[in-house]
Amino acid sequence: MLVDVSSVLKVEGESISVSGKVCFSQDSLSKAGPFFHDDVVFSGSITNIGNVLELKGNVGGTFTVLCARCMKELEKTFDIDFTELLVNSTDDVSDKDAVLVFEGHEIELDDIIESNILVNLSLKYLCSDDCKGLCPACGADRNVTDCDCGKDEIDPRMAGLKNLLIDE
């Protein structure tokens, strides 16, 4: 989403409204997700607050991600508010890590929106709080079936530790 900010750059206090849909490339996201099915909806404003432009926005949509334990597909929604400071030059800025730099009179918002979404989403999702996950030996979904794999198996490298815990 490319936004022309030339009218805002000229007048302090000037503001423009911005809204639209952002489509994410799955190449930029991990294979495990999140996978955004529909376009993500963004609305916000860009305001000149001196030598800095303030981007305030809200982004929302739905995505699919895998359960961290059993790998079941989950559909989740999100609604995120964020604020970013944008500058044309970092010469007058004391904290360069607190601002994003743009060139010219146009700002590409897709990367800004995507990074704010990914920072605000959880790193893992569960289908339920009591999800039992997959069996590490046979791969069976423990939520669906019980298996007898590996109940008494101990890694041979840890067998010595087992002897310390067993009272003889």
Q: Are 116 and 80 in contact (CB under 8 A)?
A: yes
The range of the structural domain enclosing residue 66 comes to 2-120
Burial of 107 (0-12, 13-18, 19+ CB in 10 A): buried
Query: How high is the pLDDT of residue 95?
Result: 55
Claim to verify: residue 139 and residue 106 sit in the same structural domain: no
- Residue 70 predicted with pLDDT over 70: yes
Strand segments, DSSP code E, in the chain are: 2-4, 15-22, 35-36, 40-48, 53-66, 73-87, 99-101, 106-108
Q: Are 89 and 138 in contact (CB under 8 A)?
A: no
State how many domains the chain has. 2
Instruction: Report the length, in residues, of the chain.
Output: 168
In a domain, 126, yes or no: no
In a domain, 55, yes or no: yes
Q: Are 140 and 134 in contact (CB under 8 A)?
A: yes
**Confidence band (pLDDT; 50, 70, 90) for 2?**
confident
Q: What are phi and psi of 80, to 5 degrees?
A: -125, 130
Give kind and range of the element (H or E) at residue 41. strand 40-48
Q: Which residue, among 45, 50, 52, has the nearest Cα to 12 in the 3D structure? A: 50
In a domain, 127, yes or no: no
- Residue 30 predicted with pLDDT over 70: no
In a domain, 96, yes or no: yes
Claim to verify: residue 102 and residue 156 sit in the same structural domain: no
Residues 106-152: tens digit of each pLDDT: 888 888 888 898 899 988 999 999 999 998 888 888 999 888 775 66
| Residue labelled with tokens 């039992």 | 132
Claim to verify: residue 136 and residue 111 sit in the same structural domain: no
Please tell me the distance from the alpha carbon of residue 121 to that of residue 79, in angstroms, as a whole number.
10
